[in-house]
Amino acid sequence: MRLLFSALALCAAVLGRAADQDYPLAEAQEVLARGGLPNFFLKAQTTGAEVKIGYLGGSITAQNGWRVQTLAHFKKAYPQASFAEINAAIGGTGSDLGVFRVKQDVLSQGPDLLFVEFAVNDGGADPRRIIRAMEGIVRQTWQANPKTDICFVYTLTESLSPPMLEGKLQRSASAMEKVADFYGIPSITLGMEVAKLAKAGKLAWRAKLPKTEAEKAALGDKFVFAADGVHPHDSTGQVLYTQAIVRSLPALAIANNSPTVHACSLALDPANLERAKLVPVTAAKLSAGLTPADMATDAFAKGWSKRLPTMVKLTQPGQSIEFTFKGTHCAVYDVVGPAGGMVAVTLDGKAQKSVQRIDAYCTYPRLSTFVVGTDLPEGEHTVRLELLADPIDKAAVLAKNKNQIDKPERFAPLHFFPGALLIVGDLVP
């Protein structure tokens, strides 16, 4: 999430007013029921039913906030059924990764309801990309099970709030509304009350929760939203989000009370990412001597097995991965961190770039992606990824975010840890 917001202002400035003219901001409403959640409510009211709720989003969803609190609400409101969550939230990621992992991380577990939360992490993204990714999530979901209900939820941050203060949705949520409206998907704007308090001067976007009477007095009548203006405190800002959902449920229940089979024959954008696939990296050709990590016994690989289906650990310069795919887009899903090295990317026989697998926030390992090629001509494309011996001034890299090398031995290696290929199309055997 921190990486996203370090570049958010720049991204927004680059996209600028031209994008807003092509994709005007939508009016902010707390709930737009559209087709409602008919299948979910019918099942929730059924004695003995097992109801699964998927939560696909970023770090705001990963917190023990609205996700945990709404699940608790459903359990209390519908005691005749049993509820289970599918927690598919990964911090710092948006719909561009969500569309590739929704099948593995959510749909494989058979959700009855899918909440999608990417408005914040998509805050600086091109609206066209947002529409294509969100539409891909919808179409994949209904292809897997046309009875699964979907609900878009829009969270808010201090930096994204100006449009909300004027009664408009931020650009990312406005783009998502085009998809929601086209497919009749309900949407809930979780930040309406947040914006209302901010406009009245009664919101502290960035503050610690007060513990002493003096701290409470210093805040006056201000409501403490978050410590960083982004991630709401579980006991304050996240509660506002949960309350918005609870207030919206009656409208979603009465919008349609008949069993519904969701259809997706027509497309809003023919270039949507419904063909997005997450392919295990082990399906590629590995260079001599390179073998997949044992996801059950390898301590490092095992720690990522919930999200990465496989892992190959490139530790020696010259080790490589090669594959051919038929489609229009390819990216790599890997782990970046202190041990990250430099990777040479060759596409269709032409050297494209060298990609550094450590950034200013890599004081610890985390999931990440990098694009090999996008908007490619439909057809077969060859890819080679090779670990280089090129040194990296990791101290200088970390210094960009005022971080420092703590233990030199953690940062000394120059490695590459891919787990999956993200392909719009198909891998060629």
pLDDT band at 30 (very low <50, low <70, confident <90, very high): very high
- In this structure, the answer to whether residues 46 and 144 fall within a common structural domain is yes
Cβ neighbour number for residue 47 with a 10 Å cutoff: 8
Does residue 13 have a pLDDT over 50?
no
Residue 270 located in a structural domain: no
Report how far residue 301's alpha carbon sits from residue 315's, in angstroms, rounded to the nearest whole number. Answer: 14
Q: What is the reported pLDDT for 265?
A: 84
- In this structure, the answer to whether residues 57 and 196 fall within a common structural domain is yes
Domain that holds residue 289: 276-428
Residue 369 in contact with residue 314, Cβ under 8 Å?
A: no
Q: How far is CA 295 from the centre of its chain?
A: 24
Residue 260 located in a structural domain: no
Residue 95 located in a structural domain: yes
Residue 25 located in a structural domain: yes
Report how far residue 230's alpha carbon sits from residue 158's, in angstroms, rounded to the nearest whole number. Answer: 7
Instruction: Return the DSSP state at 9.
Output: H
- In this structure, the answer to whether residues 246 and 327 fall within a common structural domain is no
- In this structure, the answer to whether residues 246 and 281 fall within a common structural domain is no
Residue 416 located in a structural domain: yes
- In this structure, the answer to whether residues 209 and 106 fall within a common structural domain is yes
pTM: 0.92
Q: What is the reported pLDDT for 21?
A: 62
Cβ neighbour number for residue 120 with a 10 Å cutoff: 28
Residue 268 located in a structural domain: no
Does residue 322 have a pLDDT over 80?
yes
- Give me the CATH number covering residue 95: 3.40.50.1110
pLDDT band at 2 (very low <50, low <70, confident <90, very high): very low
Contacts of 333 (CB under 8 A, 6+ apart): 97, 100, 101, 278, 308, 367, 368, 369, 418, 419, 420, 421, 422
- Structural element, H or E, at residue 77: helix 66-77
Question: Taking Cα atoms as reference points, which of 418, 406, 347, 345 lies closest to residue 376?
Answer: 347
- Give me the CATH number covering residue 340: 2.60.120.260
Residue 393 located in a structural domain: yes
| Total tally of structural domains belonging to the chain | 2
Average pLDDT over residues 347-366: 96
Average pLDDT, the chain: 94
- In this structure, the answer to whether residues 181 and 129 fall within a common structural domain is yes
Does residue 4 have a pLDDT over 50?
no
Amino acid at 335: V
- In this structure, the answer to whether residues 137 and 54 fall within a common structural domain is yes
- Structural element, H or E, at residue 307: none
